[in-house]
């Protein structure tokens, strides 16, 4: 069944898997505690093209309600107090579940691209090693020179 191509559908097709920001946030908190703004900057560096600030804070609050992260106010720096987030043991366990799931997803993606490359690789293009490609190039040059 083919659905209508709406703007939202195109955005989802071109975007990341649903809720992918959750495991990325947990992974970022695995090695260091951070406040929301730092996490948003790291998400952008990770490759998220646009970050909705309000959504990130909602996700962090939900992760805290689910006891996957904890937070406390840091008042030791100049300026306003900042909420610092940390991953919990339950968060580490949940991150492992995500990693396992994404590993399965990666296998499916690999299969997809293996099949895709069979149909859409230009003729004469080799998916083998560079050495094989160099040998093929040398062979074709020899044939051209001999003719």
Summarised one tens digit per residue, pLDDT across range 9-23 is 444 455 567 789 999
Interval 100-139: pLDDT, tens: 999 999 999 999 988 988 888 666 666 665 555 455 555 5
pLDDT at 50 exceeding the cut of 90: no
For the segment 28-39, what is each residue's pLDDT rounded down to a tens digit?
999 899 999 999
Q: Does residue 132 sit in helix, strand or coil?
A: helix
* pLDDT bracket for residue 76 (50, 70, 90): confident
Phi-psi group of 79: left, alpha or beta (phi > 0 → left; psi -120 to 50 → alpha; rest → beta): left
Q: Which of 50, 62, 54, 58 is nearest to 94 (CA)?
A: 62
pTM of the shown model: 0.70
Q: What percent of the chain has pLDDT over 90?
A: 55
DSSP 19-82: TTHHHHHHHHHHH--EEHHHHHHHHHHHT-S---HHHHHHHHHHHHHTTSEEEEEE-SSSSS-E
Of residues 76 and 133, the one with the higher pLDDT is 76
**DSSP at 13:** H
Distance CA 5, CA 17 (A): 18
* pLDDT for the residue numbered 126: 63
């Amino acid at each position: 069944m083919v659905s209508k191509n709406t703007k939202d559908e195109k955005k989802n097709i071109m975007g990341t898997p649903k809720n992918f920001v959750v495991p990325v946030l947990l992974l970022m908190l695995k090695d260091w505690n951070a406040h929301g703004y730092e996490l948003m900057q790291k998400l952008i560096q990770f490759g998220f093209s646009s970050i909705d600030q309000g959504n990130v804070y909602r996700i962090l609050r939900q992760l805290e309600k689910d006891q996957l992260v904890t937070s406390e106010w840091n008042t030791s720096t100049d300026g306003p107090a900042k909420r610092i987030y940390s991953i919990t043991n339950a968060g580490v366990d949940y991150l492992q579940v995500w990693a396992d799931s994404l590993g399965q997803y990666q296998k499916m993606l690999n299969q997809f691209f293996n099949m895709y490359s069979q149909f859409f690789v230009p003729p004469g293009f080799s998916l083998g090693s560079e050495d094989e490609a160099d040998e093929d190039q040398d062979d074709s040059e020899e044939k051209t020179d001999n003719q």
